[in-house]
Amino acid sequence: MTAARGQQLLDALKTLYLPAGYPNTVTDDYLAYQLYTVPAHITGWLSISLTTSSLLKAVGINAGPVGATAAAAAIKWIIKDGIGAAGRLLVGGRLGLEFDDDPRRWRMTAEALTTAGAAQ
C-alpha cells in the first residue's frame, strides 16, 4: 500500500468514526478514551463468545448429532452478534450526526422496528 493510499484510508476512517469538527468539538481525552474502549468492547464480545462455548460444553452439548446441531446454532449466534456489532459501527459512523440531531425520533424508530421484528 502506498503512503498516499494509506493516508486516504486513515482520513476515511477518521471521517467515519470521529465527530464532525474533531478535535475542536470534543475534550482532549476523547481519542485516548475511544482507543481504549474499542478494544475493550471487542475483547468483551470475544469473552462472551468463549463463555457461551464453554457453557455449551459444560452441559454436555459437544458430542454426537446433538452437539453438532448445538455447535452450528452457537456459531450462527456468534456470527449474528459479530455482524450486528459491525453494523452498529458502520451505521453509527455514517449516520451519527443525523442521530444527534433528533435522538428521540431515532429512539422511537428503533423501538418500532424492534417491536415489529418481535411480532413475527
Q: How far apart are CA 78 and CA 48, in angstroms?
A: 9
pLDDT in tens, 12-33: 888 877 887 888 888 888 888 8
pLDDT of 68 reads: 67
Return the closest-CA partner of residue 84 out of 35, 120, 117. Answer: 117
Query: E strand or H helix at 36, and its extent?
Result: helix 30-58
Q: Taking a C-beta distance cutoff of 8 angstroms, is the pair 56, 62 a contact?
A: yes
pLDDT of 37 reads: 86
* Residue 8 scores a pLDDT above 80: yes
**Among the ranges given (33-37, 47-51, 62-66, 74-78), the one the predictor scored with the smallest mean pLDDT:** 62-66
Higher pLDDT, 79 or 70: 79
* Residue 36 scores a pLDDT above 80: yes
pLDDT of 67 reads: 65
Return the closest-CA partner of residue 25 out of 99, 100, 80. Answer: 100
Q: How far apart are CA 107 and CA 22, in angstroms?
A: 25
Query: Model's pTM, two decimal places?
Result: 0.44
Return the closest-CA partner of residue 88 out of 9, 17, 5. Answer: 17
In degrees, to the nearest 5, what angle opens at C-alpha 43 toward C-alphas 85 and 21? 60
Task: Report the percent of the chain where pLDDT is more than 90.
Answer: 2
pLDDT of 66 reads: 62
Q: How far apart are CA 97 and CA 34, in angstroms?
A: 17
pLDDT band at 72 (very low <50, low <70, confident <90, very high): confident
